[in-house]
Structure 1
Amino acid sequence: MNPPPVHDPRLLAKPPICRLGCLVLVRNQRGDVLLVDPDYLDGMILPGGPGKANEPPHRAAARHLHAQTGIIARLTHVTALDYNPADRNLERLALVFDGGTVRDEHPVTVPPQHRSRLHGARFVPVRELPRHMAPSQAARVTEALAGRTLPILQHGQRPD
C-alpha cells in the first residue's frame, strides 16, 4: 500500500532554487564524444540545456539534443550526476544521460548560430577532451564514460 501524499503547504511555499542541467553523452562508432561549441562559453560542452518547469529531465535532454544536433534519442539511463554549489550562479544539478552510439555517417545538424547560439558541433576523441573543455566539464564526461548507469524513474516507474 502506498503512503498518502504529503499535502503540507510549507513544502511548496518557497521551493529551493536549483537549476537543472539535462545533458546527453553521445558517442560515434569510434568512441568519440559529441560536443557542442556554444558562443557564450570558452570551450565545448555536452549537448543539452535546462529543463522547463515540470518537464521530465530525460525529455528536456532529448529536446535539447534534437534542437542542437538533429539527433533523436530515447534516453533511459543517467550516467553521471554532478552537483555544483552556488557561486556566482545559482546552485546547479547536472544530469548526464546516456545517448548511446550513432553511426559514423549519421549527420549532425546544428541550426544557425543566431538561433542556436552554437558555433558548431563535432565528435572529439576521448583523449582530446581536456584540450577542448573546461576541466570540470572534462571530468564530468570522464565520469559519465565510466560505464555506470542509473535507470530513469518517474513516480517510481520507468517512463515511456
Structure 2
Amino acid sequence: MLGVKRLGVLAGGAAAATALLVGSAGSAQAASAENYWNVAYGQLYVSAWECNTYVTSCSWYTKVQLRNNGGRIMDRITNTTKIYANGISATVTISKDQASATISGNQTSIGQVKWTKYVSNLVELSGSASPSWTTIGITTEACLTGNGPGSYGDVSAKCAKIGLW
C-alpha cells in the first residue's frame, strides 16, 4: 500500500525554483511518503519526510519499522536513506549529526546514510540538506532491509520515496 501526503503547493519550472529558494524560514510546509507490506510476522513500514520549502537548508527524516508484530522482534533491521539533488548542476551538502558530504550533478544520488540495529523493530534517521542555488529541490528515499524474526529469513528492500524525480 502506497500513501503520499503533500502539504503546501509546489509550482512547476522556474516558479518551483523560486518558491523553494525564497520560501520563508520556519515554514511548516513538508512532503512525506509511506509504504507498508503485510508479512507473516507483522507489517513492514517505511516512511520518508522532507521539507519542500527552504531558504538555506531542508530537514529530512526517515523511519523503518516492524509493526503489528505480536511480540516478534526482527533479528536485523536496516534503514538506508538516500538524498538526491534535483536541478542543473545541483549541489547539496547533507549531514547526519556531525558527518556531512557534498556531491554535484543533475539529479545525482548525493549521499547515503545507513544504520543497522540487531534484535530491534525500529530505525529512525534524520538530518539536514543544504542545497545550492541551482537546486530545485531534494528527493529523500528510505529503504528497509533486514532479517525477519527466527527462521523467517531475509527481507528484500522495501522503500518509500518523496520529492522531485
Q: TM-score range by the shorter chain?
A: under 0.3
Q: TM-score, normalised by structure 1?
A: 0.24
More helix by share: 1
More strand by share: 2
- Larger RCO (CA under 8 A, 6+ residues apart): 1
